[in-house]
Amino acid sequence: MHHADLLEKHFRLTPQQKKSLAILKIRTLGDLLYYLPSRYGEETSLLPISSLTKDAHVSVAGKIVSIKTAKAYRKKIPLTEATVEDDTGTIRVVWFHQAYIAKTIPEGSLVRLTGKVTGGKRGNYLANPHVERISDLPLGADTSLWGEGAGDILPVYPETRALSSRWFLHHIRRAVAGGAVEMMEDPLPEEILTQYHLPKLKTALIWAHMPQKKGDAESARKRFAFEEIFFIQIARQKERRAYQAHGAFTIPKRKKDVETFLSRFPFAPTAAQMRAIETITSDFEKEKPMLRLLEGDVGSGKTLVAAATAYATVTTSPLKRSEDGTFGRSSLASDDLAKRQSFGNLQIAYMAPTEILAQQHFDSFISYFSHLPINIALITGSGCKKFPSKVSPDKATDISRAQFLKWVANGEIAIVIGTHALIQKTVKFKDLAYVIIDEQHRFGVMQRAKLVRRGDAEQTRNIAEAKIDPFIYKDLTYRIRNVLFNVKKELGGGHKEIIYQKAVAIELEKASLSYSREVQIPIMYQKKRVGTYTPDFVIDDKIIVELKALPFVGAQEKKQIWRYLRGSSYRLALLANFGPRELTIDRVVYDTARASASVPQSSASVPHLLSMTATPIPRTLALTIYGDLDLTLLDEMPPGRKIPKTEVVIPAERTRVYEEITHEIAHGRQAYVICPRIDEPDPNKIGALQVKSVKAEAKRLQEKIFPKYKVGILHGKMKPKEKDDVMGAFSHGDIDILVATSVVEVGVNVPNATIIIIEGAERFGLAQLHQLRGRVLRSTHQAYCYLFTDTESGTSQKRLKAMKESHSGFELAEQDLLIRGAGELSGAKQWGISDIGMEAIKNIKMVEAARTEAQKLLDTDPGLAHHPLITARLASKNIAVHFE
Ligand code: ADP
Ligand code: MG
């Protein structure tokens, strides 16, 4: 049997099995071998607690008989201490620095613990074991359950329709016995395997499917987990490099101007906000596009960072040639309103996931930018607006779509805020330099790609007036020529290209010229990317150097280089040919060549990208799924924020809670009431969920509970105009209590609203609850969050309790990982990370290693020319490539 053989060749499959296999993307024996067990009949490896000995790595299962948090004696380290009991005895368990564990695992829980037995003054204990909640105690060491005799660790495979675990076991064993593993080549480079003590592919497959001991299976899993994360990292890093191979608009920092801009805000920026602005504006100065994720908890003030960096962008003009022949920019920082129509500056696009939020950003940006001669526009599904209006210069007015498109295309509108409507094909920018995506987790990957592509090669940027001096980079060229001639002198002619490449690299270093060998330039064909060109050298990020060792170079070679230049942000290439007798160096300049060939004038500048998110996901997951982005954390809240009081409310306590709320409203505060659904369910429909609906609850609250106050409603099915009106009334205080669906979850900002009631709270994820609670953390007033629930399910209660006790989104995310398991983590599945990959997500060291190795590999082999197996894997697994 060969691993490339189709399954049908060796196995008889029913039509349903074929279907299920197709869904699992298992076509060949090799694919089947990569279908890994989800667990093993690992009960056999559990040890009785009474048998534990010091320094052993063990797994035990038992009941938590006590659990509490404490401070470690003297060192003041927070810790959780528990006692776990099985039929044979008890053992103490200690988790250092993990005080929250006590909150997630109540007394009486059944757990499986894996870790090291440590000796201490008070006897042996398990130190920082891995803990997993289980629903039943396993059946001890009763191996007879597994038939075939002791030591036979039985893999258990995830089952799907018509494919049982047993089916997989049987067929995988047949494939292994038939020799399907023999010819499989390991896609992971050997150095990596050695460095991280990972088994080779063949060994790992055998160990995963037929382990002799538990440790073998674990090593195998570790390898496959690493492998998966490694390939994701390779894919992300490749995308990043491809994106950054384009040029970007450089934007000068102008620290003073940005500070002046910020001085108009009613508060001083936090240190974290200033750091983020500094980082972003530093990225702007580089000639490559920024790719950055700004992660900051709800209410940490991301909008201000967006505004300040947008300011730096829109007050910068595109590259202009000045009198002395250098490239310069004019900046516009004055309040000269007369200049408002002197458009032509760089543009930004700011995308929000909902209309409400887009409208809110539009309003905020008007207040931030109204003193500047800058046009701001809003585009949503329900139309377009522009500020200022021609007739009343302090207001925004509706404009037609056609007008909007025209003004964006000619650069008259500098700031474009919108929903997805922003990424339609028809929206073309003149000089889109910066894209900000708010609440980016709400958008699909493809949407992000689309928006960013707005600025891609198809985007025309008029550089006609900037007639390029044919002798650009004269000094640098001269230095490079020296390097090349030195190499020729030392080496003479007749060597292979690679020899010259190495020698040139050494000589460039000697001459202190900075160079890169990994720049990737897309090769376009009818607006589609059909390949990549990686020049031999890019010197000082300015000049491409291509080496040849041919008898001679002619027009053909030059033409080709010129075409590559065209797809790049570079303007000059040197084509050096170490011919048999002499060294020839040809200059290829894109702009002069263009004049004769009359190709469309376009540049490959792409916008800087800032993704903003409050999704509290564990760092490991962020590093993986956003592996192409640099990470900036906004890890400080504006001063004066009080910790919200969070309460889990059972039905019996409603009345008391309503009284408390009435008291707050009487003091001028406002409240949100979040309901899981909009309408009452059809009573005839069997099994309809008995949860509160916005409409009925609003009616009830208005009539029975808060007759003196104004109750309003908001939900996703309302017309945009109605939504606007309601949000407007709520932010002006005309509505006291807003009954809504979770549409208010994302980013809505009404500082005076300090109370949020969440009905059916158990139905929301922790991340979502945290976001909802964030709605009332927008001021210095005390905030209240009431989680109404009537379920008594243990997991739900535990999750709601976690909300009560933790106020950090990141901590809550880590807890979700613990309580619900990795598979439930929001987004993980959507990103195509398998269960085994998620195991790696629990391990920061492994994620970091995979990332470093992927980077290293691409540094040395950017095109993956020497790693065909990796290329093949990327293609076959179709690891989402989102900038292409
Ligand atoms: P998020 O990060 O959730 O998008 P916002 O940008 O909406 O947060 O900011 C939340 C609230 O905090 C807003 O009302 C904003 O005006 C306010 N804010 C932002 N930065 C500061 C600051 N440095 N000091 C005081 N308040 C601030
Ligand atoms: Mg926000």
160-171 tens-digit pLDDT:
888 888 889 889
Tokens of 511: 């001459």
Instruction: Tell me the C-alpha distance between 107 and 103, whole Å.
Output: 10
Q: How many CB atoms lie within 10 A of CB 260?
A: 12
Banded pLDDT at 474 (limits 50, 70, 90): low
Contact 209, 172 (CB under 8 A): yes
Tokens of 280: 């972003």
Tokens of 456: 């891609």
Instruction: Tell me the C-alpha distance between 212 and 623, whole Å.
Output: 34
Instruction: Tell me the C-alpha distance between 740 and 738, whole Å.
Output: 6
pLDDT of residue 604: 57
Residue 320 or 312, more confident: 312
Instruction: Tell me the C-alpha distance between 424 and 848, whole Å.
Output: 37
Pocket perturbation via mutation, ligand 1, pick of 259, 304, 357, 637 by most ligand atoms within 8 A of CB: 304
Q: Is 234 in the pocket of ligand 1 (CB under 6 A)?
A: no
Phi-psi region of 133 (alpha: psi -120 to 50; beta: other; left: phi over 0): beta
Identify any residues that bridge with 63 across adjacent strands, giving them in sequence order. Answer: 85, 110
Q: What DSSP state is assigned to residue 718? A: S
pLDDT of residue 687: 45
pLDDT of residue 469: 35
Q: Examine the pLDDT at 688 and tell me if it is beyond 60.
A: no
pLDDT of residue 699: 94
Q: Which of 10-19, 178-187, 437-446, 640-649 is least confident? A: 437-446
Instruction: Tell me the C-alpha distance between 32 and 1, whole Å.
Output: 13
Identify any residues that bridge with 630 across adjacent strands, giving them in sequence order. Answer: 292
Q: What DSSP state is assigned to residue 641? A: P
Predicted confidence (pLDDT) per residue in 46-95, tens digit: 777 888 888 887 888 888 999 988 776 666 778 889 999 887 889 999 98
Specify the residue with its C-alpha closest to ligand 1, atom 9.
301
Q: Is 270 in the pocket of ligand 1 (CB under 6 A)?
A: yes
Task: Please name the helix (run of DSSP H) or strand (run of DSSP E) that holds residue 800, with its range, or none.
Answer: helix 794-805
Enumerate residues 6+ apart whose C-beta is below 8 A from 810: 297, 616, 618, 619
Specify the residue with its C-alpha closest to ligand 1, atom 25.
638
Specify the residue with its C-alpha closest to ligand 1, atom 18.
301
Predicted confidence (pLDDT) per residue in 372-413, tens digit: 989 999 998 889 999 998 888 888 999 999 999 999 998 899
In 3D space, the residue among 425, 422, 462 whose CA is nearest the CA of residue 438 turns out to be 422
Tokens of 634: 């906004």
Q: Is 455 in the pocket of ligand 1 (CB under 6 A)?
A: no
Specify the residue with its C-alpha closest to ligand 1, atom 15.
301
Tokens of 146: 């597994």
Phi-psi region of 572 (alpha: psi -120 to 50; beta: other; left: phi over 0): beta
Closest-lying ligand 1 atom to the alpha carbon of residue 774: 3
Percent share of the chain, pLDDT over 70: 83
Q: Is 388 in the pocket of ligand 1 (CB under 6 A)?
A: no
Instruction: Tell me the C-alpha distance between 537 and 684, whole Å.
Output: 72
Q: What DSSP state is assigned to residue 677? A: B
Separation of CA 750 from chain center: 28
Strand 528-533 to 521-525 pairing: antiparallel
Q: How far is the CA of 304 from the centre of ligand 1 (A)?
A: 7
What's the mean pLDDT in 481-506?
87
Residue 586 or 668, more confident: 668
Contact 46, 86 (CB under 8 A): no
Banded pLDDT at 148 (limits 50, 70, 90): very low
Written as one string, the DSSP assignment of 48-98 is -GGG--TT-EEEEEEEEEEEEEEEPTTT--EEEEEEEEETTEEEEEEEET-
Q: What is the largest CA-CA distance in the chain?
A: 98
pLDDT of residue 745: 61
Banded pLDDT at 570 (limits 50, 70, 90): confident
Contact 298, 809 (CB under 8 A): yes
pLDDT of residue 323: 43
In 3D space, the residue among 384, 572, 399, 596 whose CA is nearest the CA of residue 477 turns out to be 572
Q: Which amino acid is at 720?
A: P
Instruction: Tell me the C-alpha distance between 43 and 146, whole Å.
Output: 10
Provide φ and ψ at 697, rounded to 5°. Answer: -65, -40
pTM score: 0.62
In 3D space, the residue among 805, 753, 803 whose CA is nearest the CA of residue 779 turns out to be 753
Phi-psi region of 677 (alpha: psi -120 to 50; beta: other; left: phi over 0): beta
In 3D space, the residue among 882, 833, 884, 829 whose CA is nearest the CA of residue 448 turns out to be 882
Positive or negative torsion for Cα 168, 171, 172, 173: positive
Predicted confidence (pLDDT) per residue in 340-368, tens digit: 444 468 999 999 888 888 999 999 999 99
Q: Examine the pLDDT at 468 and tell me if it is beyond 60.
A: no
Q: Is 616 in the pocket of ligand 1 (CB under 6 A)?
A: no
Predicted confidence (pLDDT) per residue in 314-344, tens digit: 988 775 434 444 444 445 444 444 444 444 6
Q: Is 302 in the pocket of ligand 1 (CB under 6 A)?
A: yes
Q: How far is the CA of 211 from the centre of ligand 2 (A)?
A: 50
Highest mean pLDDT, choosing among 412-416, 596-600, 715-719, 750-754: 412-416
Instruction: Tell me the C-alpha distance between 679 and 691, whole Å.
Output: 10
Strand 327-328 to 645-649 pairing: unpaired
Task: Please name the helix (run of DSSP H) or strand (run of DSSP E) that holds residue 509, with its range, or none.
Answer: helix 497-510
Using DSSP's 3-state secondary structure scheme, residue 160 falls into strand
Could you tell me the end-to-end alpha-carbon distance of the chain, in angstroms, rounded to an integer? Answer: 37
Task: Please name the helix (run of DSSP H) or strand (run of DSSP E) that holds residue 359, with its range, or none.
Answer: helix 355-369
Provide φ and ψ at 487, rounded to 5°. Answer: -60, -45
For the chain, give me the number of helices (H) and strands (E)? 28, 31
Using DSSP's 3-state secondary structure scheme, residue 767 falls into helix
Specify the residue with its C-alpha closest to ligand 1, atom 27.
638
Identify any residues that bridge with 293 across adjacent strands, giving them in sequence order. Answer: 611, 631
Banded pLDDT at 285 (limits 50, 70, 90): very high
Instruction: Tell me the C-alpha distance between 745 and 846, whole Å.
Output: 34
With b for 16 or more beta-carbon neighbours within 10 A and e for fewer, the 784-800 pattern comes to bbbbbbeeeeeeeebbb
Banded pLDDT at 746 (limits 50, 70, 90): low
Q: Which of 498-502, 622-626, 812-816 is least confident? A: 812-816
Predicted confidence (pLDDT) per residue in 807-830, tens digit: 887 778 777 766 665 545 544 555
In 3D space, the residue among 114, 79, 104 whose CA is nearest the CA of residue 94 turns out to be 79
Separation of CA 393 from chain center: 40
Helices within 423-496 (DSSP H only): 445-453, 474-491
In 3D space, the residue among 39, 12, 24 whose CA is nearest the CA of residue 170 turns out to be 12
Strand 78-86 to 320-321 pairing: unpaired
Instruction: Tell me the C-alpha distance between 69 and 103, whole Å.
Output: 9
Banded pLDDT at 554 (limits 50, 70, 90): confident
In 3D space, the residue among 524, 752, 747 whose CA is nearest the CA of residue 738 turns out to be 752
Pocket perturbation via mutation, ligand 1, pick of 305, 613, 749 by most ligand atoms within 8 A of CB: 749
pLDDT of residue 462: 23
- Per the listing, tokens 């009332």 go with 776
Q: Which amino acid is at 493?
A: G
Q: Is 289 in the pocket of ligand 1 (CB under 6 A)?
A: no
Specify the residue with its C-alpha closest to ligand 1, atom 10.
299
Strands (E), 799-853: none
In whole angstroms, how large is the CA radius of gyration of the chain?
31
Enumerate residues 6+ apart whose C-beta is below 8 A from 504: 483, 484, 487, 536, 537, 545, 547
Q: Is 770 in the pocket of ligand 1 (CB under 6 A)?
A: no
Q: What DSSP state is assigned to residue 681? A: P
Sheet with 737-740, side-by-side order of all strands:
645-649, 784-788, 753-758, 670-674, 737-740, 711-714
Q: What is the mean pLDDT of the chain?
A: 81
In 3D space, the residue among 619, 645, 641, 643 whose CA is nearest the CA of residue 632 turns out to be 619
Specify the residue with its C-alpha closest to ligand 1, atom 26.
638
What's the mean pLDDT in 174-184?
90
Strand 110-118 to 125-133 pairing: antiparallel
Percent share of the chain, pLDDT over 90: 33
What's the mean pLDDT in 99-123?
84
Banded pLDDT at 443 (limits 50, 70, 90): low
Provide φ and ψ at 451, rounded to 5°. Answer: -60, -45
Closest-lying ligand 1 atom to the alpha carbon of residue 438: 4
What's the mean pLDDT in 307-315?
95
pLDDT of residue 209: 92
Contact 636, 300 (CB under 8 A): yes
Contact 673, 786 (CB under 8 A): no
Task: Please name the helix (run of DSSP H) or strand (run of DSSP E) that holds residue 799, with its range, or none.
Answer: helix 794-805
Closest-lying ligand 1 atom to the alpha carbon of residue 640: 25
Instruction: Tell me the C-alpha distance between 521 and 529, whole Å.
Output: 10
Helical axes 165-177 vs 201-209, angle rounded to 10°: 140
C-alpha distances out from residue 426 to 409, 411, 415, 590, 701, Å: 10, 15, 17, 29, 46
Predicted confidence (pLDDT) per residue in 257-278, tens digit: 999 999 999 999 999 999 999 9
Instruction: Tell me the C-alpha distance between 188 and 851, whole Å.
Output: 14
Residue 552 or 457, more confident: 552
